[in-house]
Amino acid sequence: MKKILLAIILIFGFSGISNAADQGQMRLGLDLGFSPVDLEAEKTAQELANLSGSTVTVEYDTGSFVGRIFGEYGLSSTMDLEFGYFTTSDAEAKYTISGASAKESYYADGFDFSLNFKGGDGWFGKLGMHSSTVHGNASITIGGTTYAVTASRDGSGPLFGGGFEADGTRYSITHYVDVGDTTDYTMFSVGWLF
């Protein structure tokens, strides 16, 4: 939380030295995209095989779809302040061993804000912070009986990225550090501004 408060103070400090505001223009937007995810499923399968002394097969996802809604406020002709909420689809791994199976799935969601630095040719960069949660669900089935557990973990960290915008459409890459204090996400997205 202290990191987020410090980032807010810095952002508003920078906005005070920026050029005159673009008439306070506010735009809303929607980003849709994809983020690679490493569930370390192969490592988990090997650990299960070592513990059980049996062969373990594994199937797993390598990424998640991402949706994000956001608002963008013009601070100047070269700088915007952006606030957003993102969520991902589930990334799952399923392990099968003689007489038993296990499944784990994770998704993340959270809030972010950033300063977007705009060039005159449509290119932009962004720097900010996020507060996020990784939600996990796991189940194991033994002899037809299923046992389930859920957990979540909160965290915050910096984000940075960039992209290109033209005619109300933007293409961007944003890297979120320590999502849910667990992992990094790099989101490749296409966005529409209204």
Using CA atoms, how far apart are residues 111 and 133, in angstroms rounded to an integer?
A: 9
State pLDDT tens for residues 56-100. 999 999 999 999 999 999 999 899 999 999 999 999 999 998 878
Using CA atoms, how far apart are residues 106 and 180, in angstroms rounded to an integer?
A: 11
CATH number of residue 52's parent domain: 2.40.160
Domain with 30, as residue range(s), is: 2-193
Closest by CA to 76, choosing from 113, 22, 17, is 22
Contact status, residue 86 vs residue 112, Cβ threshold 8 Å: yes
State pLDDT tens for residues 90-115. 999 999 988 789 999 999 999 999 99
> If you search the block for the tokens 């966005």, which residue do you land on?
191
Using CA atoms, how far apart are residues 31 and 84, in angstroms rounded to an integer?
A: 10
Q: Is the pTM of this model over 0.85?
A: no
Q: Calculate Rg over the CA atoms of the chain.
A: 20
Query: Could you give the number of structural domains in the chain?
Result: 1
> If you search the block for the tokens 């293409």, which residue do you land on?
171
